[in-house]
Chain A
Amino acid sequence: MLELGKYADAILSSWVITLVLLIALVLVTWRRSVQVKRELDAAEERAKRND
């Protein structure tokens, strides 16, 4: 087991907060990207049908 000594709380909280924020940023970016791509594909399809 990794021994972090008296700074364990500071180190662990820093790393946990950072990882949570980075993972949240990646997930938000990815989800929005997939959602917008799906909406655009549907709109392109509709536009093609209407032309």
Chain B
Amino acid sequence: MSLWEFANPVKFMALSGKVLPWVIGLCALTLIPGMIWGFFFTPEAANFGNSVKIIYIHVPSAMMAINIWVMMLVTSLIWIVRRHHVSVRAAKAAALIGVTMTVIALITGAIWGQPMWGTYWAWDPRLTSFLILFLFYLGYMALWAAIDNPDTAADLTSVLCIVGSVFAVLSRYAVNFWNQGLHQGASLSLDKEEHVSNVYYQPLLLCIAGFILLFVALVLIRTRTELRLVRLHRLDVRERMKDA
């Protein structure tokens, strides 16, 4: 069996219909306990005080904002190369989730920045590249809304997605490329010596898993809706042709 079989909308609908309840259940089992653990049961940090509780929402949302764009890039490339409708519809379905995650990351970052850096906003490399990524998300959604022909819209938004990927990569690695910004280094690292203490790390991992599963659940639901809209459009055209 090939992975490309799931590019068939009928097979995708059947498989996603079976998987979705499990994803929703797992999401509830990770996100809710992770958030409760992080908010209520983690101690004050020596340097950040209780403001450390913001990382349980800021870090997962920032990670998702970048990774959702990467997922959109992969699905857009599949569209460009193989013209699979399911892939480009999945990219379209992910955009609203991505923009929401970007807004959450920007707002929680700004709120955290005021007491820590003394300002809500600075033109720091990571913050600036994140703001540009947010504008790319808006542009991507606007482009889909502005073009009537779905194939043309898919082509143009896929190209926009490739261009915007520069800023997704910059958002991720800005703190490594430039060290003059206010934003501190990554909170998570594969190097055990570098990451935050376990008492914060474990609930953070649970929250990240919850955000990932929430994204998977939402993108499956939204892609299913997109595919239903395609079918609805085809039925509508057929009905109108019969009437004419």
Contacts and interface: CB of A to CB of B under 8 A. Distances in A.
Given A14-B54, A33-B224, A25 B112 contact: no
B89 to A, nearest CB: 13
A5 B97 contact: no
Contacts of B222: 29, 32-33
Q: How large is the interface on A (under 10, 10 to 19, 20 to 34, 35 or more residues)?
A: 20 to 34
B98 to A, nearest CB: 11
Contacts of A44: 235
Interface string A19-35: 00110011011101100
Provide the main secondary structure of the chain A interface: helix
B232 A5 contact: no
Q: How large is the interface on B (under 10, 10 to 19, 20 to 34, 35 or more residues)?
A: 35 or more
B127 interface: no
B91 interface: no
Interface in B202-244: 214, 218, 221-222, 224-225, 228-229, 231-232, 235-236, 238-239, 242
Contacts of A10: 51, 54, 111-112, 114-115
Contacts of A4: 50, 53
A39 B239 contact: no
28 contacts: A5-B49, A5-B50, A10-B112, A13-B111, A14-B54, A14-B107, A15-B53, A17-B107, A18-B57, A18-B108, A22-B214, A25-B218, A26-B214, A26-B218, A29-B225, A32-B222, A32-B225, A33-B222, A33-B224, A33-B225, A36-B232, A37-B228, A40-B228, A40-B231, A40-B232, A43-B236, A44-B235, A50-B242
A30 B228 CA distance: 14
B235 A25 contact: no
B104 interface: yes
Contacts of A17: 104, 107-108, 111
B151 interface: no
A22 B49 CA distance: 26
Contacts of B232: 36, 39-40, 43
A14 B108 contact: yes
B103 interface: yes
Given A40-B231, A40-B232, 16 more contacts: A2-B39, A4-B53, A7-B50, A7-B51, A10-B114, A14-B54, A14-B58, A18-B61, A18-B104, A25-B100, A26-B218, A29-B218, A29-B222, A33-B225, A39-B232, A46-B239
